[in-house]
Structure 1
């Protein structure tokens, strides 16, 4: 028997040292805006791509059932419960994409900005900052270079996106994916430009940031250094060109069906219903298949828009509110209920 609509209960979660109380509200499917109008079969296909990685019995059983399911909507409604998870912060949707950079497998006057693999001394503790890495040259000439690219701003945004393609002079390309990070705090350079009074909030976008850094090379370098986080890569060229980049589950992600979430709150591989506001409203069932340094909190998600400049243009303008609801296996959802309600 389902709980009543709007049934909310709080679980005190001290996530990453935060003291905010996290609440879970069980919803009905008819409370999800636009639910009947989505392509649930498309979402089911994406869910199947990663559900085999679950190692708990309830999720594994659902994965087996998903392989046999012929109707996506019926499958999700029969075996899942929608749960709205909140921690006091408003919903924020952003977007990301897989960029394409111009590069070479050897350095030259044009291609002089290295894309580094993971240094062996990188551990679980915070390592050198972005400024320290670039000023000291500690990674140079150690056989850590995967490739060299021609634009430091493109390289910076590649690190933010976490994966991308590097097109070589002969037309071939190599693909790189997230390999590790220096465990330093992530700072949004867009937010930093607003804080410095350079732009108003509504003016900031990826193209605006790129142009400003290129037109102000000294101040631009200082701006990029404000983000201490530094990402290292690994080559993943074995992923076919017609498939998305590898996400945090080490499987290809799908444009407009995969999102990055905070995995300490939302299980990777879980179906997630999104209701995004803004210039491009979106109501659809996604799958949590990725993570990101800036994606922290119960109501925080990064939507994967796909590959190339067009996807980048769409992703770069997304900064919208709305609501995100996680679909949880029914038994697991009701196991969260306080004893007084049992």
Structure 2
């Protein structure tokens, strides 16, 4: 997902949680980590799938060493909750991933693309079980299957094509001289210097009412915009990453912690919004602590069920796509997750697809869960920092 600073993570979590996306995609990164860079879609073969290294004789037969993980073959009974997942829901994400299959997947992907969708969950489950082998994912340096999962989302903001009422915060296309002036103007200079404002005049895509909505879009690198046109029509569009001002990223969550306004345990994205509501005169001070700003391009939204494109180069599927460290899990790999939901702490066990990445997503058992668009997804993503176990599924 072209989350600009991304991919990022969709949470502005705490230092101990996910603070202020990826991949992307979207979590707003922890206060001490930059958002993920927006990766241009690249070949899974080039980015994600260094050849597996045969395991030492001391490991079970069939064990594979990835550049940053060890895959240990297991039986299907090891996957907790496998029989209870709505496997047919994962089929769409799997087929989308087959549009850019990883090495070793071409035959199965061709079969999947030519097959009718499974009639039910049981049929989908059997399709996977007949053709794939599960592997428990572990770190190379320790036999500990536990890791960390965070969440990210696709923002959905209200916007107006023309400035009106409270809708005064512009989202800009990239300026014409972006490639000639490096670094470009800082966020504060864009807001205050006539020369910077003149360079962006006529580059406005739309206007939002809340500067934090603009910040979230910039941190995630993309999002949906419900825009009111001059004639009163309302349409939903996507704004996608089109560049940034080449200034360093600084987390506003970290700034609030350093100011003593929030603590690492409380610096969630909802808490940051609440702080801004209570301190309207300091909002610009907070925003200007991050000199980086992001520019966008407008895209149509032909399929509202599809998310932005992740690092694999295919649209993300809400609650069925994850961002991973591609040195541990190649793009396009089906992955079984065993974790819990952030708000209810109920088990979250399901089949997902590795389709994105991000600078904060590093390690063998590490994932960023794409919750999808909207307010509920933002709440889930902003609070997600759960224990995780992962199993990769690979062709037999």
The residue that corresponds to 1:48 in the other structure is 95
What pairs with 1:115-194 in structure 2 (closer than 5 Å)?
A: 115-119=171-175, 127-128=183-184, 130-131=187-188, 133-134=190-191, 136=193, 138=196, 140-169=199-228, 170=232, 172-182=234-244, 186-194=249-257
TM-score, scaled to structure 1: 0.76
Alpha-carbon deviation of 1:263?
4.1
1:31 aligns with 2:94: no
Is residue 174–residue 235 contact of structure 1 (8 Å, CA) maintained in 2?
no
Instruction: Between 129-138 and 257-266, report the one with greater CA deviation.
Output: 129-138
1:101 aligns with 2:123: no
TM-score, scaled to structure 2: 0.67
**SS class of match (1:156):** helix
Relative CO higher for 1 or 2, CA cutoff 8 Å, sep ≥ 6? 2
- Give unmatched runs, 5+ long, in structure 1: 14-21, 331-342
CA 177–290 in structure 1, closer or farther in 2 if over 3 Å, else same: farther
Alpha-carbon deviation of 1:173?
2.5
- Give unmatched runs, 5+ long, in structure 2: 1-54
**SS class of match (1:202):** coil
Q: Distance in 2 between matches of 1:91 and 1:226?
A: 32
Q: Which structure features the higher share of helix residues?
A: 1
1:325 aligns with 2:381: no
What pairs with 1:1-342 in structure 2 (closer than 5 Å)?
A: 22-28=68-74, 29-54=76-101, 56=103, 58-67=104-113, 68=115, 70=118, 71-77=123-129, 78-84=131-137, 86=139, 91-108=147-164, 110-119=166-175, 127-128=183-184, 130-131=187-188, 133-134=190-191, 136=193, 138=196, 140-169=199-228, 170=232, 172-182=234-244, 186-217=249-280, 219-240=282-303, 242-248=304-310, 249=312, 251-263=314-326, 265-277=328-340, 278=342, 279-292=345-358, 294-330=360-396
**SS class of match (1:65):** helix
**SS class of match (1:148):** strand
How much is the aligned-residue C-alpha RMSD, in angstroms? Answer: 3.5
Equivalent residues, number: 317
